[in-house]
């Protein structure tokens, strides 16, 4: 059997844009003017279109980024674990200032939001190889070795999976042994309709965080007349604090691939894609090797698993640093080699997705769950979890706890139980489902984590991220970190998200500097609400969720920072704002 990807469907040339840009970025450290011209003529586009794509993704640069390009994670957990000191140490050791390259052109130093290693912070990527649990000594050592000419690949870390907990009595769903091809054979025995019924019975819902019933999505795709159809795995795990997909792809990539094959078999798709975030480039060899194995075994390619006429293969598409590409329609745009701007929802991807053809987009965890559910059978699956919310859920725990890592919990576990398991240290508030999720107080620790009851706010649906903070962690600074993140990651095409995130960040900075008055808090809230109601996609709609919730639940943190000397007339002078321009000018 073939070991390389089979040509079942020939994609239009321009879909290769991102791959070509990656090649050039890695080869030269940046995209040169002549590259833009060449790509434009290669794909029959104007130069500005190519430029538009390049400038959309923050891992593509138009200026040299050094022989060694260092990206230090600046997410909130990293901030609490001391990423600022790591940046300073890198600056001192390499001679490169943050956001630039040193004089010799050897090192480029940049910040980037969460790289999916929140359980082993502070962390960084050097030439996209991971380095975890950094400290000043380690940084010195790394830079020293790189200067001595050692290959980055030889000294990088292999991030731990840190699977801290799986349900007792060996009831793990995701990490149980799965014989290669076993779940596919079971799917075949069930027939496509049988697979959809099984998913319906198991009540599996999209694990990316939106919890749309998987069977409905697959059914809709199956019913579409247009062909070919596609299966896309959303492995653009960008929500700060989440790393469950990283662990799944590292520990059991085969179950992901089987899940995708089952989906293709069910809906009649001929090609699949794993859209892997740029930050996880180091997982690429492992995924490629697993794909090659599956091709060798005849489980991918022509007549997969000896099913006559079922031709299916999977290609991996690297993202290049853009949180909004986790939104499924933005992801599809990016997959087509364009700017990752969310589409208007005229159609669902199952109707018109990749190349305007029927496409199922699901999260890594969803595909893995499908393979395992079919393998153990729905009866066994329904015994897990609680009625109405069966099964298990992967939760990435990070922040102020002794045991950060991955927890596979049965649905229905309470926040308190999870806090105990991870040995949380003096927890005071918890950011559930990442910055776009909700901020809960320790007083709510008896809430269950389940798929039930989203609106009543009794239970919590966790998308995957669970960041624990103790009372000393300044909530305003946490929210400021989130605001900076959203501002950075907004695609900017709709007004509320483009201007809103910007102004929210400014206001929070002001509050943090002790210059805000009660009126500012009111404005923050109204602006947050406007963004929620009027933004175009999920990013803008959820960006101020936590802020609004936190302002009600933790009013103290905000009041404490207000300008107490305000007498209703003259406001304090904002020295930082006044001198900011001069400071930039000096540089």
**Interaction mask 288-327, another protein, x per CB under 8 A:** ----------------------------------x-----
Q: Does 527 bind another protein (CB under 8 A)?
A: yes
Could you tell me which stretch among 139-147, 469-477, 531-539, 556-564 binds another protein (CB under 8 A)?
531-539
Q: Does 355 bind another protein (CB under 8 A)?
A: no
**121 within 8 A of 62, measured Cβ to Cβ:** no
Could you tell me which stretch among 238-246, 275-283, 435-443, 497-505 binds another protein (CB under 8 A)?
497-505
DSSP-assigned beta bridge partners for residue 362 = 233
Q: Does 31 bind another protein (CB under 8 A)?
A: no
Q: Which of 106, 201, 530, 562 binds another protein (CB under 8 A)?
A: 530
- What is the rounded CA–CA span in Å between residue 401 and residue 426? 8
Q: Does 348 bind another protein (CB under 8 A)?
A: no
Structure tokens at 490: 């907004």
- What is the rounded CA–CA span in Å between residue 40 and residue 33? 11
Q: Does 229 bind another protein (CB under 8 A)?
A: no
Q: Does 526 bind another protein (CB under 8 A)?
A: yes
Smaller CB separation from another protein, 45 or 198: 45
Q: Which of 46, 565, 567, 584 binds another protein (CB under 8 A)?
A: 46
Q: Does 500 bind another protein (CB under 8 A)?
A: yes
Q: Which of 35, 49, 119, 444 binds another protein (CB under 8 A)?
A: 49
Q: Does 548 bind another protein (CB under 8 A)?
A: no
- In the three-class reduction of DSSP (H, G, I as helix; E, B as strand; rest coil), residue 117 is classed as coil
**Alpha helix segments (H runs only) across 203-275:** 214-223, 244-251, 253-267
Q: Does 170 bind another protein (CB under 8 A)?
A: no
Q: Does 533 bind another protein (CB under 8 A)?
A: yes
**401 within 8 A of 168, measured Cβ to Cβ:** no
- What is the rounded CA–CA span in Å between residue 49 and residue 35? 13
Residue 46 CB, nearest approach to another protein (Å) = 5
- H/E run at residue 129: strand 129-131
Smaller CB separation from another protein, 33 or 179: 33
- In the three-class reduction of DSSP (H, G, I as helix; E, B as strand; rest coil), residue 201 is classed as helix
Q: How would DSSP label each residue in 70-105?
A: EEEE-SHHHHHTTHHHHHHHHHHHH-PPTTEE-TTS
Q: Does 517 bind another protein (CB under 8 A)?
A: no
Contacts of 364 (CB under 8 A, 6+ apart): 207, 233, 234, 235, 237, 244, 245, 248, 249, 256
- H/E run at residue 547: helix 545-553
Smaller CB separation from another protein, 262 or 480: 480
Q: Does 488 bind another protein (CB under 8 A)?
A: yes
Smaller CB separation from another protein, 405 or 540: 540
Q: Does 42 bind another protein (CB under 8 A)?
A: no
Residue 163 CB, nearest approach to another protein (Å) = 35
Q: Does 6 bind another protein (CB under 8 A)?
A: no
Q: Which of 502, 513, 517, 572 binds another protein (CB under 8 A)?
A: 502
Smaller CB separation from another protein, 182 or 503: 503
Q: Which of 536, 542, 547, 561 binds another protein (CB under 8 A)?
A: 536
Residue 500 CB, nearest approach to another protein (Å) = 6
Which residue, 428, 448, 424, 450, is CA-closest to 440? 428
Which residue, 316, 350, 364, 342, is CA-closest to 463? 364
Structure tokens at 217: 């999505």
DSSP-assigned beta bridge partners for residue 407 = 165, 395
- What is the rounded CA–CA span in Å between residue 368 and residue 370? 5
Q: Which of 244, 277, 487, 561 binds another protein (CB under 8 A)?
A: 487
Could you tell me which stretch among 9-17, 225-233, 262-270, 501-509 binds another protein (CB under 8 A)?
501-509
DSSP letter at 14 equals G
Smaller CB separation from another protein, 425 or 529: 529
Smaller CB separation from another protein, 160 or 495: 495
Q: Does 523 bind another protein (CB under 8 A)?
A: yes
Could you tell me which stretch among 90-98, 201-209, 476-484, 534-542 binds another protein (CB under 8 A)?
534-542
Q: Which of 55, 84, 193, 356 binds another protein (CB under 8 A)?
A: 55
Residue 539 CB, nearest approach to another protein (Å) = 10
Q: Does 60 bind another protein (CB under 8 A)?
A: no
Residue 506 CB, nearest approach to another protein (Å) = 5
How many Å is the maximal CA-CA distance in the chain? 80
Residue 177 CB, nearest approach to another protein (Å) = 43
Rounded (10°) CA dihedral 473, 477, 480, 484: -90
Structure tokens at 76: 């909130």
Q: Does 576 bind another protein (CB under 8 A)?
A: no
- In the three-class reduction of DSSP (H, G, I as helix; E, B as strand; rest coil), residue 45 is classed as coil
Q: Which of 6, 16, 185, 495 binds another protein (CB under 8 A)?
A: 495
Structure tokens at 282: 């180091």
Q: Does 483 bind another protein (CB under 8 A)?
A: no
- H/E run at residue 507: helix 495-512
Total number of residues binding another protein (CB under 8 A)? 43
Structure tokens at 139: 């940084």
Residue 401 CB, nearest approach to another protein (Å) = 33
The answer to whether the bond into 228 is cis (omega within 30° of 0) is yes
Task: Tell the burial category of 19 from Cβ atoms under 10 Å away from its Cβ (0-12, 13-18, 19+).
Answer: middle
- What is the rounded CA–CA span in Å between residue 478 and residue 358? 40
User: Which residues of this chain interact with another protein, rule CB under 8 A?
Assistant: 33, 46-49, 51-52, 55-56, 322, 339, 344, 346, 487-496, 498-503, 506, 523, 526-527, 529-530, 532-536, 541, 577, 581
């Amino acid at each position: 059997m073939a070991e390389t990807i089979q040509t079942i469907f020939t994609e239009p040339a321009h879909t290769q844009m991102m791959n070509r840009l990656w090649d050039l970025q890695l080869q030269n450290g940046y995209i040169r003017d002549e590259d833009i011209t060449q790509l434009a003529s290669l794909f029959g586009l104007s130069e500005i279109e190519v430029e538009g794509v390049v400038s959309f993704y923050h891992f593509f640069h138009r200026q040299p980024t050094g022989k060694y390009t260092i990206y230090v994670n600046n997410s909130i957990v990293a901030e609490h674990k001391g990423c600022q000191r790591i940046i300073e140490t890198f600056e001192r050791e390499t001679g490169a200032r943050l956001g630039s390259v040193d004089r010799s052109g050897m090192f480029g130093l940049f910040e980037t939001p969460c790289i999916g290693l929140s359980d082993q912070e502070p962390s960084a990527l050097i030439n996209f190889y991971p380095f975890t649990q950094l400290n000043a000594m380690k940084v010195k050592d790394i830079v020293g070795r790189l200067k001595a000419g050692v290959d980055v690949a030889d000294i990088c870390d292999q991030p731990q999976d840190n699977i801290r907990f799986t349900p007792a009595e060996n009831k793990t769903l995701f990490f149980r042994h799965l014989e290669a091809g076993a779940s596919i054979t079971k799917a075949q025995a069930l027939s496509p309709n049988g697979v959809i019924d099984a998913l319906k019975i198991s009540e599996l819902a999209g694990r990316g965080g939106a919890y749309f019933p998987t069977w409905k999505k697959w059914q809709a795709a199956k019913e579409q007349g247009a062909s070919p159809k596609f299966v896309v795995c959303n492995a653009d795990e960008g929500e700060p604090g989440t790393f469950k997909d990283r662990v799944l792809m590292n520990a059991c990539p085969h179950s992901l691939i089987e899940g995708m094959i089952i989906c293709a078999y069910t809906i009649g798709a001929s090609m699949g894609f794993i859209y892997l975030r740029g930050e996880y480039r180091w997982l690429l060899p492992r995924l490629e090797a697993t794909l090659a194995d599956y091709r060798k075994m005849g489980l991918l390619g022509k007549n997969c698993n000896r099913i006559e006429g079922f031709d299916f293969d999977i290609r991996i598409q690297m993202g290049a640093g853009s949180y909004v590409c986790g939104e499924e329609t933005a992801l599809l745009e990016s997959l087509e080699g364009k700017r990752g701007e969310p589409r208007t929802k005229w159609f669902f991807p199952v109707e018109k997705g990749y190349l305007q053809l029927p496409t199922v987009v699901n999260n890594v965890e969803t595909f893995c769950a499908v393979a395992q559910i079919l393998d153990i059978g729905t009866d066994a699956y329904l015994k897990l979890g609680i009625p109405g919310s069966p099964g298990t859920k992967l939760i990435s725990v990070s922040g102020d706890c002794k045991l950060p890592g991955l927890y596979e919990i049965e649905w229905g576990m309470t926040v308190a139980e999870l806090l105990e398991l991870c040995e949380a240290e003096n927890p005071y508030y918890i950011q559930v489902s990442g910055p776009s999720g909700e901020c809960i107080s320790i007083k709510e620790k008896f809430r269950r984590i389940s798929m039930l009851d989203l609106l009543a706010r009794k239970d919590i649906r966790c998308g995957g991220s669970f960041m624990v903070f103790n009372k000393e962690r300044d909530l305003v600074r946490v929210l400021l970190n989130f605001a900076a993140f959203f501002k950075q990651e907004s695609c900017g095409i709709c007004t509320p998200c483009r201007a809103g995130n910007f102004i929210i960040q400014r206001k929070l900075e002001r509050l943090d500097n002790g210059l805000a008055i009660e009126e500012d808090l009111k404005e923050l809230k109204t602006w947050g609400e406007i963004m929620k109601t009027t933004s175009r996609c999920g990013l803008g709609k959820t960006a101020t969720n936590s802020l609004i919730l936190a302002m009600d639940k933790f009013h103290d943190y905000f009041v404490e920072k207000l300008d107490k000397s305000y007498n209703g007339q003259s406001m304090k002078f904002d020295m930082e704002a006044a001198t900011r321009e001069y400071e930039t000018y000096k540089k």
